[in-house]
Amino acid sequence: MKAYVFPGQGAQFVGMGRQLYENFETGKELFEQANEILNFRITDLMFSGTEEDLRQTKVTQPAIFLHSVILAKVMGENFIPDMVAGHSLGEFSALVASQALSFEDGLLLVSKRAEAMQEACEITPSTMAAIIGIADDKVKEILDDIDDVVVAANYNSPGQIVISGTVSGVNKACELIKAAGARRALPLSVGGAFHSPLMEPAREKLAYAIENTLFSKPLCPIYQNVDAKPSTDPDIIKSNLNAQLTSPVLWTQTVKNMVAGGCTVYTELGPGTVLQGLIKKIEPSVIIEEVNI
């Protein structure tokens, strides 16, 4: 069985998507449709903007979503998933690619998500850090003893967790985790505490938009970030999506569950190859297939 997976924020690069625009009529049409939906020419920023342009949350998230979804669309009949999953933002790409959401509704939700997250970041000084080379359970144990807002945000692969919270909470956690034997505790250059309780204002705003968006049964099961379990039920999908911004991304658990569900081949759709590397660390036996477009 084959899974398609979709990356999240951080995979962007200048020039992303240009090939899809120039070489495929479907790609060009969808990019131009996106420009109209967003009320600005995101294609100009993606194809020839600066790295600073692409780091703006209101640009980054729609740009990665568009690159991922349009890549799936131009594959046409060659896009035959047995299951899909996306990392954080990538979950929205997976939902559109699997036809649980329309292209327009997916893009509008991603745009609203980026806007809401940016506003939440401005309320409380907050940040994230990557923790490498220490057991997941040990990180969780240390975080639970800290009297500040700091949580495990991304379970990316065994021994690689991203933590999220207030600046003081993350700094304290990094000190304690390094003292406990972690190989690295690396602060990330992000503007806020994604997938933590500090995203509650953003979750509330996005939840309203999600509740007022039509979701359909997807082509195949989608393994969602919140519970790492497969679903095709639109109500369950919406409920999990509502909880995503304040809950950890269970990527390690997701990949393991997909393998247990019969997946042997993974293809990453979107900019970069981050998920390919994580999947190989989680389950070295699986096959990674590239997209030849």
Tokens representing residue 193 in the block: 């505490």
Q: How far apart are the first and last CA of the chain?
A: 22
Q: What is the pLDDT of residues 140-182, one digit of tens each?
A: 999 999 999 999 999 999 999 999 999 999 999 999 999 999 9
Tokens 């503007």 -> residue: 191
What's this model's pTM, rounded to 2 decimal places? 0.96
DSSP 28-74: HHHHHHHHHHHTS-HHHHHHH--HHHHHSHHHHHHHHHHHHHHHHHH
Asked if residue 64 lies in contact with residue 270, where contact means CB atoms within 8 angstroms, the answer is: yes
Q: What is the pLDDT of residue 10?
A: 86
Q: What is the pLDDT of residue 292?
A: 81
Q: What is the pLDDT of residue 190?
A: 81
Q: What is the pLDDT of residue 14?
A: 94
**Ranges of the chain with pLDDT below 70:** none
Contacts with 235 (C-beta within 8 Å, 6 or more apart), sequence order: none
From the centroid of its chain, how far is CA 212? 22
Which residues does the annotation mark as catalytic? 88, 195
Domains along the sequence of the chain with CATH = 2-122+197-288 (3.40.366.10), 125-187 (3.30.70.250)
| CA-to-CA dists, residue 55 to 61, 94, 125, 191, angstroms | 9, 22, 18, 10
